[in-house]
Amino acid sequence: MKRSQQVILLIFTWFSIIFAQAPIAWIQTYDEDSDSENFKDIYATFNGDYIMCGRSEDRYWIVRIDSDGNQIWSETFEGTGLNSIIETDDGDFLAGGWNTDSRFSAILVNSEGEEIWSNEYADGSCKAVIELKSGEFLLAGASSGEIWRGHLVMINGEGEVIWDGTYGERHFQQFVSMRETEGGVVLGGKADRADRNGREFWVVKVNFEGEIIWENYYRIAPNSIGCSIVSCPDNGFIFGGWAMDRWEGANNAYWCFAIVKINNNGAQQWQRDYHNINSHELLECITLIDEDEYIMVGEDIGGINPLALRIRRDGQVRWREAYDIGQGDIFGARGHFFNSVTVDQDNSILAAGRVNLSFGEESDTDGLVVKLLPEILHPIIMHWSPEDTVFSVLPEDTVRFTVRAIDQQGQELGYEWLFDDSTFAGGDTTVLVQFPDTLGEHTVTCVLSDEEFSTYINWNVSVVEWYIADYQPDSTDILIRRGTSIDFTHQIKSVEELDFNYSWEHFGRGGNFEFEGEDSIRYNFDMTGDHIIRAFISNNDVLESIEWDVDVRSIIWWWWPHENVLSARDDTTIVFEVFPFNEESDSLEYSWFINDEALDCDTSLIEISLPEIGQYEIIAYVQEGVQADTIHWTVDVLEGSFTANDADLADLPTSPMLYPPSPNPFNSTVKLSIYMPKIDHVSLSIFDINGREVSRLVDGDVEAGNQTFVWNAGGFPAGVYVVRMVAGGSSEMRKLVLVR
């Protein structure tokens, strides 16, 4: 059982109150000296800036601003318009839209607004882009043709297609928004009804290969058009858009904001509409705010003004406001709207869209950004104990629970304690809870409230026969240097003497394997990279585990020969090499020793002749600044008749050989040649810098003689790789350098 600090905070009101809207902090407009600018999306960057995308006349338009709305840069690019933009993990910006030929397209620019690449993928338009946790990107939208269909494209960082697919069988279907979730991606879209008499919300979940997991349609009114989907804290989703119907009390049919709440399997939980019988209102974007509430933005067609609604987790309106941007003739009297909204770390709201400066033949629109100040709403929990909100106890154990909080409005807080939803104490910040003598699951809850708002925290407690009471190291995320040994231990607490079975497992660089141990083991991390150590404890049918993630760092990430204890025949020459992480560093220094005698070599590679029988100690010493690392080899030289040199291919070797790759470095394909003295099973694989196998070229019998294989690295990022050949009971490795 891994420790966690999962705090569930849910905000709700005791009274039916509609609060005033968030006040405006500032309003800014942006233009590119044309008569038609419009922002379609806004995104909060990692460093506190904002990036917007849209169109300026018939060109892509991207603008970066600071937190006060000051323009940092503004750039246009060849293309018609952009609908969605994100900041990548590398600090660049990826945007999707459509180009001048009405083609589904995307563009990547760096942090200064300089184009890196621009690609097109199909007829149609890209409406949404996201970066997956695995590093790839998804583009979603629609492909046009005889019928419009939802279109999804996975690309790598260079904009190259990994896979793509089309979805939907109705006359018109289009993806407009998406979110990554467990096991795949959930996409929100709009689709013709089966009878083509109006439209419906359309939501699809696909796995990371693009295969449909589930697909559903939702209808709030005869005509329902989806626009934006957001993930919810309970792992479900809210999908928002417009709905058109003749609402009670209205003389005509009206468009209104509408949302549907679905769970992680696509089942509808509830739906809401927010109709105003005096005005058409169109929702364009929805986002999460303040842990479990939502902001929706769009336009109020009746007044032609930007519109914002804040709703609670159950869909009830907290406040609604149509912002009179044209008040005081600052801008034109009408024609302003929001297309997108984002929330800053302090809960400030930034909405982007368009402002209309004039109408008629000389119509002029600019990009619009409005910042709304954060609201003060609920108490904040500052401290809680136990810190783990999910844990186990034995029958009849007593646990002390404590909560400390502050009220943002300066009001006195009340405390109410619940056990399995039944109140058992109140008024105190600390309580003692004795658990029953029977096994089972229980919840302890503390509710904190002022006159208007409440917050609560849950502890989920299991009464069990035994549990893991402690383990060391107590941090499960560990950063160490190569060569470090760590003692892993755990302690069990049980109701009586029970028999336990213990097992341990290593997963990661160096191989996946099990090893023996009781309640403790010592493990030496002699290889850099990511490692996982797992401990398993079982009693009868109950199994618990602990997992430590260990990141091993060093100057040296690989060395050759990788086996540190070697045997060789007399009169042999062996090539030794070390591979630093940062091979381009100017401060790297190399020293080599044989049996404590310094060798005349200051590079990462050395050829050492071993003419006489005996044992030799080879040491590579690598220094980078104040950091240093060493690799030791022990070579036993035995008497024998065979001598060979890797560089001398005139004499055919009697064992399998992996020749130097050609060319190396390379930028697309590389030839990998091997020699086999006889037919045998060969495994020829490519590994990345973290020791993960990324490609296997050969895994089977290979004929005797010289054989050549080609690795096409077109879909792989630039960097250092290793090719490894295993054949005839021996293993050889060579370094590859892929450049772009």
pLDDT per position as a tens digit, 434-444: 999 999 999 99
Average pLDDT over residues 385-411: 90
**Tens-digit pLDDT profile for residues 255-291:** 889 999 999 999 999 999 998 877 788 889 999 987 7
| Mean per-residue pLDDT of the chain | 86
The answer to whether residue 448 scores a pLDDT higher than 60 is yes
> Of the spans 84-93, 641-650, 702-711, which averages the highest pLDDT?
84-93
- Give the torsion sign (CA, 603, 605, 611, 615): positive
Average pLDDT over residues 587-609: 91
pLDDT bracket for residue 529 (50, 70, 90):
confident
pLDDT bracket for residue 347 (50, 70, 90):
confident
**Tens-digit pLDDT profile for residues 530-550:** 899 999 999 988 899 999 999
Q: How many CB atoms neighbour CB 214 within 10 A?
A: 14
Q: How many CB atoms neighbour CB 9 within 10 A?
A: 16
Average pLDDT over residues 587-615: 90
**Tens-digit pLDDT profile for residues 227-257:** 999 999 878 999 999 898 877 776 778 888 9
pLDDT bracket for residue 575 (50, 70, 90):
confident
Please report the pLDDT score of residue 64 as a whole number: 97
Please report the pLDDT score of residue 12 as a whole number: 28
> Of the spans 162-171, 307-316, 500-509, 650-659, which averages the highest pLDDT?
162-171
Please report the pLDDT score of residue 30 as a whole number: 94
The backbone torsions φ and ψ at residue 529, rounded to the nearest 5 degrees and listed phi first, read 115, -165
- In this structure, of 122-131, 219-228, 401-410, the range with the lowest mean pLDDT score is 401-410
DSSP string of 311-363, one letter each residue: E-TTS-EEEEEE--TTGGGSS-SS--EEEEEEE-TTS-EEEEEEEEEE-GGG-
SS3 content of the chain, % helix, strand, coil (to 5): 0, 60, 35
In this predicted model, which residue has the larger pLDDT, 508 or 52? 52
pLDDT bracket for residue 358 (50, 70, 90):
low
Please report the pLDDT score of residue 359 as a whole number: 56
Q: Any idea of the CA torsion for 432, 437, 441, 446, to the nearest 10 degrees?
A: -10
Is residue 427 within 8 Å of 415, Cβ to Cβ?
yes
Query: The tokens of 545 are what?
Result: 């585990």
User: What span, in angstroms and rounded, lies between the C-alpha atoms of 375 and 44?
Assistant: 19
The answer to whether residue 647 scores a pLDDT higher than 60 is no
Please report the pLDDT score of residue 665 as a whole number: 78
The answer to whether residue 712 scores a pLDDT higher than 80 is yes
What domains can you pick out in the chain, each with its CATH number? 39-372 (2.120.10.30), 382-458 (2.60.40.10), 466-553 (2.60.40.10), 559-651 (2.60.40.10), 656-740 (2.60.40.1930)
The answer to whether residue 611 scores a pLDDT higher than 90 is no
Please report the pLDDT score of residue 377 as a whole number: 66
User: What span, in angstroms and rounded, lies between the C-alpha atoms of 554 and 128?
Assistant: 40
Count CA atoms within 13 Å of residue 349 on its CB side: 27
Please report the pLDDT score of residue 4 as a whole number: 26
Please report the pLDDT score of residue 376 as a whole number: 60
Please report the pLDDT score of residue 734 as a whole number: 82
Average pLDDT over residues 221-231: 93
The answer to whether residue 513 scores a pLDDT higher than 80 is yes
Please report the pLDDT score of residue 326 as a whole number: 61
pTM of the model: 0.53
> Of the spans 129-138, 417-426, 645-654, 674-683, which averages the highest pLDDT?
129-138
Strands (DSSP E) found in 110-209 = 115-131, 137-143, 149-155, 161-167, 173-181, 184-192, 199-206
Please report the pLDDT score of residue 612 as a whole number: 86
The answer to whether residue 713 scores a pLDDT higher than 70 is yes
Percent of residues, the chain, with pLDDT higher than 90: 50
The answer to whether residue 329 scores a pLDDT higher than 50 is no
Query: The tokens of 196 are what?
Result: 């083509």
The answer to whether residue 642 scores a pLDDT higher than 60 is no
Please report the pLDDT score of residue 374 as a whole number: 79
Is residue 122 within 8 Å of 140, Cβ to Cβ?
no
